[in-house]
Amino acid sequence: MNRTIELLSPIARAAATLRVMARGFAVLALAICLPVAAASLQVSPVTLSFDTGQPALGLTLRNTGDSALTGQVRIFAWSQDGKDDVLKAVTEGLVASPPMATIAPAGEQVVRVVRTNRQPQAREQTFRLLIDELPPAQGTATPGSAEAGISFRLRYSIPVFIPAPGMASEPKLSWTLKHHDDAWFLGVSNQGASHAQLSAVTLRASDGTRFEVSAGLLGYALAGSGREWRLPESFRAALASNGLQVESTINTHSAPAAAVAVSGN
C-alpha cells in the first residue's frame, strides 16, 4: 500500500506508480505498509533551495513516535529525459552529514546537506533526497508491542535546487499535446536556467471548453529539459483540434495562458 508525501494529481500519481514498479526505486515520496511500528518520521523543510554561493543547508528529521527510529538520507542527481524523471545516485557534488541517524522518541536530528563542488554551472542543478524511516532490526520487536503491529514506514522525496550564478531565474516554457502509444500526453519543455513547479494545470479550447489536468501539484519542468504526463481516457480528442491553451500556476504564481502545440493523430 502506498501513500504520497508530495501532493500530486491523480494523473501524476498513477504515472509515478508505474515508473517506480518498472525501475525498482521510488521517484516520489512513498509510505510502505510493513509489519513494524507506527510511522513517526517527520522531515522539514520539504524543499531545499540554496542561495548562490551558499555552502550548506539544514534538514531536520523528527521522531514523533514512542520508540527510537533510524533515518537514512540518500542523494540522487535529478534530471529529465523529455518523457520522465530520471534519478541517478551520486557520491560527489552534494553530501548529507550524517547520512544515517538513530533518533530517540520525541527527539530530532539535524542533517547538513553540503555542497562539495561549488564551481559555477551554466544552469540550475537539481537533486532529490530520498529519506527513509528504516525498520527495526529483525527480531527486536517484542510480542504485543507496537512494533508487532501493521502500520507505515515513510519515504520522503525532497527536491534540492542549486541556482546558476548570474543567470535569469525565470523558466521559459513551451507546451505540447502529443498522441502516441494509444494515448494523449501533455508535455512541457523548459529552456530557462531554473526549474518550474507546475500546479493547477487546465487545458482550455477556443470555444471555452476546459479540461482539468491537475488541481494540485502536477510536477516539475527542470532547467534545460522537460517531461510529459499521460492524460486520462476522459480527455476528448476533439479538444486537440480546437486552439488549445494551457492555464497553470508556475512556482506558486498564476501564469498567463500559453499556446499548446498539437501533434499526432
Regarding predicted confidence, which is higher, 91 or 171? 171
Please list, residue by residue across 159-193, b when 16 or more beta carbons sit within 10 angstroms of its beta carbon and e when fewer do.
Answer: bbbbbbeebeeebebebbbbeeeeebbbbbbbebb
pLDDT class for 1, splitting at 50, 70, 90? Answer: very low
pLDDT class for 140, splitting at 50, 70, 90? Answer: low
User: What is the structure's pLDDT at 91?
Assistant: 80
Considering 136, 162, 188, which residue would you say is the last residue of a domain? Answer: 162
User: What is the structure's pLDDT at 241?
Assistant: 80
- The average pLDDT across 174-191 equals 96
Considering 143, 162, 181, which residue would you say is the last residue of a domain? Answer: 162
Regarding predicted confidence, which is higher, 132 or 37? 132
Pairing of strands 183-190, 94-97: unpaired
d(CA 11, CA 13) in angstroms, rounded, equals: 5
How many domains does one find in the chain? 2
Q: 189 lies in which domain range?
A: 173-263
Contacts of 242 (CB under 8 A, 6+ apart): 205, 206, 207, 209
- 148 shares its domain with 208: no
- 212 shares its domain with 235: yes
Placement of cell 520522465 in the chain: 84
- pLDDT over 90 (residue 159): yes
Its pTM surpasses 0.85: no
CATH code for the domain in which residue 208 is found? 2.60.40
- The average pLDDT across 160-188 equals 91
| 3-state DSSP assignment of residue 262 | strand
Q: What are the angstrom distances between the C-alpha of 182 and each of 178, 187, 228, 262? A: 10, 16, 15, 15
Q: Please report whether residue 140 resides in a domain.
A: yes
- 199 shares its domain with 82: no
| 3-state DSSP assignment of residue 13 | helix
User: What is the structure's pLDDT at 38?
Assistant: 54
- 117 shares its domain with 188: no
